[in-house]
Amino acid sequence: MPDIEQSTREQLLACHLPGINLPLSLVGAVEALSLSASRAEAVIALHFPARSRMEAIEIALTECLQAASGVNKCKLTVKTAIQATAAVGETQNLERVKNIIAVASGKGGVGKSTTSVNLALALAAEGAKVGILDADIYGPSQQLMLGVKEGQRPEQHGTNYLKPIVAHGLQSMSMGYLVTEKTPMVWRGPMASGALQQLLYQTYWDELDYLVIDMPPGTGDIQLTLSQKVPVTGAVIVTTPQDIALLDARKGIEMFQKVDVPVLGIVENMSVHVCTNCGHVEHIFGEKGGDTIAADYKVPMLGALPLTLKIREQADKGLPVVAEAPESETAMVYRDVAIRLGAELARRQASGANKAFPNIVIKND
CATH topology of domain 97-351: Rossmann fold (3.40.50)
Question: What is the domain partition of the chain in residue ranges?
Answer: 2-80, 97-351
325, 313 Cβ separation under 8 angstroms: no
Helix/strand/coil (H, E, C) string of the chain?
A: CHHHHHHHHHHHHHCECCCCCCEHHHHEEEEEEEECCCCEEEEEEECCCCHHHHHHHHHHHHHHHHHHHCCCCEEEEEEECCCCCCCCCCCCCCCCEEEEEEEECCCCCCCHHHHHHHHHHHHHHCCCCEEEEECCCCCCCHHHHCCCCCCCCCCEECCCEECCEEECCEEEEEHHHCCCCCCCCCCCHHHHHHHHHHHHHCECCCCEEEEEEECCCCCCHHHHHHHHHCCCCEEEEEECCCHHHHHHHHHHHHHHHHCCCCEEEEEECCCCEECCCCCCEECCCCCCHHHHHHHHHCCCEEEECCCCHHHHHHHHCCCCHHHHCCCCHHHHHHHHHHHHHHHHHHHHHHHCCCCCCCCCCCCCC
The CA–CA distances, whole Å, from 319 to 142, 147, 270 equal: 11, 7, 19
Assign 107 a pLDDT band (cuts: 50, 70, 90). low
What pLDDT does residue 355 have?
46
Q: Output the CA torsion sign for 147, 50, 200, 136.
A: negative
Q: Is 279 exposed, middle or buried (0-12, 13-18, 19+ CB in 10 A)?
A: exposed
Instruction: Give the integer Cα–Cα distance in Å for 234 and 99.
Output: 8
What pLDDT digit, counting tens, does each position of 41-61 carry? 999 999 999 999 999 999 999
**What percentage of the chain has pLDDT greater than the value 90?**
44
Q: Who wins on pLDDT, 131 or 140?
A: 131
Q: Which of 138-142, 254-258, 280-284, 334-338 has the lowest mean pLDDT?
A: 280-284
The CA–CA distances, whole Å, from 177 to 121, 164, 183, 199 equal: 19, 10, 11, 11
- The answer to whether residue 128 scores a pLDDT higher than 90 is yes
Q: Output the CA torsion sign for 311, 313, 319, 325.
A: negative
CA 38 and chain centroid, separation:
42
Assign 187 a pLDDT band (cuts: 50, 70, 90). low
Instruction: Give the integer Cα–Cα distance in Å for 288 and 142.
Output: 29
Instruction: Give the integer Cα–Cα distance in Å for 295 and 82.
Output: 28
Instruction: Give the integer Cα–Cα distance in Å for 58 and 199.
Output: 40
Determine the longest span between alpha carbons in the chain, in angstroms: 73
What pLDDT does residue 16 have?
94
What pLDDT digit, counting tens, does each position of 152-167 carry? 888 988 888 899 999 9
- The answer to whether residue 362 scores a pLDDT higher than 70 is no
Assign 340 a pLDDT band (cuts: 50, 70, 90). very high
Superfamily name with CATH number, domain 2-80: Fe-S cluster assembly (FSCA) (3.30.300.130)
